[in-house]
């Protein structure tokens, strides 16, 4: 429901008018223009902020934050709004700061292998800009057309190629961020090697907008690789799948770019809906989508096929299909990436993103399934993930997602992680959804230090308040 002008406090109404004067009336949205926006991809929750403020330059971002700081006005940063943990939710007494107009590609340096962009630039736009100069930006994920670079940085996004190129953190050479009081911290060094004191950019990468608002970044580019080899394979057991991963790492070396695991429950659920033509029978316990990138087409093809043939001979693979075209590759990836199919089959769906040691995954999934079945015998569970970097995505349907039910389901998935020192969030962040479970993955000392950083950089608790860590005011 849209917030009406009669419901606003006089101070907030005055601030909104001031922002209209500074930025232009069209850049401060209210009413139905706010309510029509969805702030969480999975829940499709509508924005409830008093207004959405859309600065057009980094300098205007600083001006907006300075005005909000002066008025003690809480503010929530909006990027591409593809998050899954309610990190972009704003209360009716908060403002949303959208970076959608900060979408410029400022500079590309193919020699240095860098690209300088504004935080609102969509990931796909950055990828395309890199391709135009014969390079690639290595981060890739399904929401590439909508997610923004600032959001990728704020959540330390992972995606499909972490096994080769690392998380978003590894792609950031420098960045610019605005603190809660409007002060600009410019750490825009393009240098790969820079040990001049504290690496301040790391404060903002993965902080989900709670310590500052990222406005610009210098990103690392990689050489473009012209040949892609993709295969979907079926494995007879979990040990075979992990043996396959080890074998491909050894035989393909640095060219292995993706190793995406699918439990049979995911593969069967997605293909049984007739959304996809199953390229393999759906009765194997595990499937893996593997992809390799290189330049020498002939050598790479022979190397890739030889690695798979050896896997079959070892018994690690019982069936396989190799993509022979870009279209076939897209169809294989569509089975892995069909989140909408999961939503349709499991609605109301609850989605989870965890990480844990690879050797613990089989037992962990079995324990989660047993816990869920004991409470909800008709429940459905689908599991897939980036096996090579220890990240699993679990989708659960139990017939309801009311708060009490959701809390019970969360306990079934998060509590077993404590035993194996796993993480409740591999790449989606904490937001509001996982905040109260954070102690499973962080020690009391770590949580205390997080709270100290928050109070130091945002002493009035204005930036993404209540997200990641509970807010406690500084002691006077």
Per-residue pLDDT of the chain (476 residues; tens, 9 = 90+): 555 555 678 999 999 999 999 999 999 999 999 999 999 888 788 999 999 999 999 999 999 999 999 999 999 999 999 999 999 999 999 999 999 999 999 999 999 999 999 999 999 999 999 999 999 999 999 899 999 999 999 999 998 899 999 999 999 999 999 999 999 999 999 988 889 899 999 999 999 999 999 999 999 999 999 999 999 999 999 999 999 999 999 999 889 999 999 999 999 998 876 788 889 999 999 999 999 999 999 999 999 999 999 999 999 999 999 999 999 999 999 998 888 899 999 999 999 999 999 999 999 999 999 999 999 999 999 999 999 899 999 999 999 999 999 999 999 999 999 999 999 999 999 999 999 999 999 999 999 999 999 999 999 999 999 999 887 766 65
Note whether residue 90 is domain-resident: yes
pLDDT confidence of residue 460? 96
Sheet of 213-220, strand order: 105-109, 114-118, 213-220, 172-178, 184-187
Which CATH number belongs to the domain containing residue 109 in this structure? 3.30.465.10
Note whether residue 361 is domain-resident: yes
Domain boundary among 74, 98, 122: 98
Domain boundary among 98, 117, 151: 98
Residue entry with tokens 């969030």: 425
pLDDT confidence of residue 42? 81
Residue whose C-alpha is closest to residue 169's, from 184, 154, 187, 181: 154
First-to-final CA distance of the chain: 39
Residue whose C-alpha is closest to residue 82's, from 103, 55, 100, 105: 100
User: Which domain range does residue 417 map to?
Assistant: 340-440
pLDDT confidence of residue 1? 52
pLDDT confidence of residue 3? 57
Q: How far is CA 301 from CA 214, 291, 293, 294, 388, in A?
A: 41, 12, 10, 9, 22
Give this prediction's pTM. Answer: 0.93
Note whether residue 411 is domain-resident: yes
| Rounded CA separation 314/352 (Å) | 34
Same domain, 213 and 263: no
CB of 441 within 8 A of CB of 455? no
CB of 34 within 8 A of CB of 49? yes
Same domain, 191 and 282: no
Same domain, 372 and 347: yes
Same domain, 141 and 65: no
Which CATH number belongs to the domain containing residue 347 in this structure? 3.30.70.2740
What are the pLDDT digits (tens) for 127-178?
Answer: 999 999 999 999 999 899 999 999 999 999 998 899 999 999 999 999 999 9
| Rounded CA separation 369/381 (Å) | 7
Which CATH number belongs to the domain containing residue 75 in this structure? 3.30.43.10
CB of 1 within 8 A of CB of 30? no
pLDDT confidence of residue 7? 61
pLDDT confidence of residue 6? 54
Which CATH number belongs to the domain containing residue 240 in this structure? 3.30.70.2190
Specify which residues 336 forms β-bridges with: none
Note whether residue 408 is domain-resident: yes
- Measured at the alpha carbon of residue 112, what is the angle toward residues 106 and 118, in degrees to the nearest 5? 20
pLDDT confidence of residue 43? 77
Same domain, 34 and 94: yes
In sequence order, which residues have a C-beta less than 8 Å from that of residue 98 and are 6 or more positions away?
Answer: 52, 53, 54, 78, 120
Same domain, 315 and 349: no
Domain boundary among 337, 365, 389: 337
Same domain, 233 and 310: yes
Same domain, 180 and 197: yes
DSSP letters spanning 343-386: HHHHSSPEEEEEE--GGGHHHHHHHHHHHHHHH-TT-EEEEEEE
Specify the length of the chain in residues: 476
Report the domain count for the chain: 4
What are the pLDDT digits (tens) for 23-52?
Answer: 999 999 999 999 999 998 887 889 999 999
């Amino acid at each position: 429901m849209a917030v009406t002008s009669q419901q606003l406090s006089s101070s907030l109404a005055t601030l909104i008018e001031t922002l209209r004067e500074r930025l232009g009336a069209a850049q401060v949205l209210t009413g139905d223009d706010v309510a029509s926006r969805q702030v969480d991809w999975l829940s499709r929750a509508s924005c409830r902020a008093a207004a959405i403020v859309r600065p057009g330059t980094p300098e205007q971002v600083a001006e907006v934050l300075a005005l909000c700081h002066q008025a003690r006005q809480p503010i929530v940063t909006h990027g591409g709004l593809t998050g899954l943990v309610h990190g972009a939710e704003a209360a009716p007494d908060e403002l949303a700061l959208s970076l959608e107009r900060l979408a410029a590609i400022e500079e590309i340096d193919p020699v240095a292998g860098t690209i300088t962009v504004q935080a609102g630039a969509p990931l796909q736009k950055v990828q395309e800009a890199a391709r135009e100069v014969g390079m690639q930006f290595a981060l890739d994920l399904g929401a590439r057309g909508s997610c923004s670079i600032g959001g990728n940085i704020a959540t330390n996004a992972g995606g499909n190629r972490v096994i080769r190129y690392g998380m978003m953190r590894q792609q950031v050479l420098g960045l610019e961020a605005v603190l809660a009081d409007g002060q600009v911290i410019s750490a825009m060094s393009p240098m790969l090697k820079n040990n001049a004191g504290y690496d301040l950019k790391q404060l903002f990468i993965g902080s989900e907008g709670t310590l500052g608002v990222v406005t610009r970044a210098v990103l690392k580019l990689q050489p473009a690789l012209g040949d892609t080899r993709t295969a979907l394979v079926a494995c007879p057991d979990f040990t075979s799948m992990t043996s396959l991963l080890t074998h491909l790492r050894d035989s393909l070396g640095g060219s292995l770019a993706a190793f995406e695991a699918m439990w049979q429950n995911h593969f069967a659920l997605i293909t049984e809906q007739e959304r996809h033509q199953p390229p393999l029978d759906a009765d194997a316990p595990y499937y893996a989508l593997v992809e390799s990138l290189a330049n020498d087409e002939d050598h790479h093809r022979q190397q890739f096929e030889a690695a798979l043939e050896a896997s079959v001979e070892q018994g690690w693979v019982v069936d396989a299909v190799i993509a022979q075209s870009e279209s076939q590759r897209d169809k294989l990836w569509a089975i892995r990436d069909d989140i909408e199919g999961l939503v349709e089959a499991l609605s109301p769906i609850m989605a989870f993103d965890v990480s844990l040691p690879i050797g613990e995954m089989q037992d962990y999934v079995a324990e989660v399934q047993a816990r869920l079945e004991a409470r909800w015998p008709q429940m459905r569970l689908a599991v897939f993930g980036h096996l090579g970097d220890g990240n699993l995505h679990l989708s659960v349907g139990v017939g309801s997602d009311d708060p009490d039910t959701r809390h019970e389901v969360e306990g079934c998935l998060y509590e077993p992680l404590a035993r194996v020192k796993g993480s409740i969030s591999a790449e989606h962040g904490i937001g509001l959804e996982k905040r109260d479970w954070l102690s499973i993955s962080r020690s009391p000392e770590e949580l205390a230090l997080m709270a100290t950083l928050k109070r130091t950089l945002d002493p009035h608790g204005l930036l993404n308040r209540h997200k990641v860590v509970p807010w406690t005011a500084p002691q006077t």
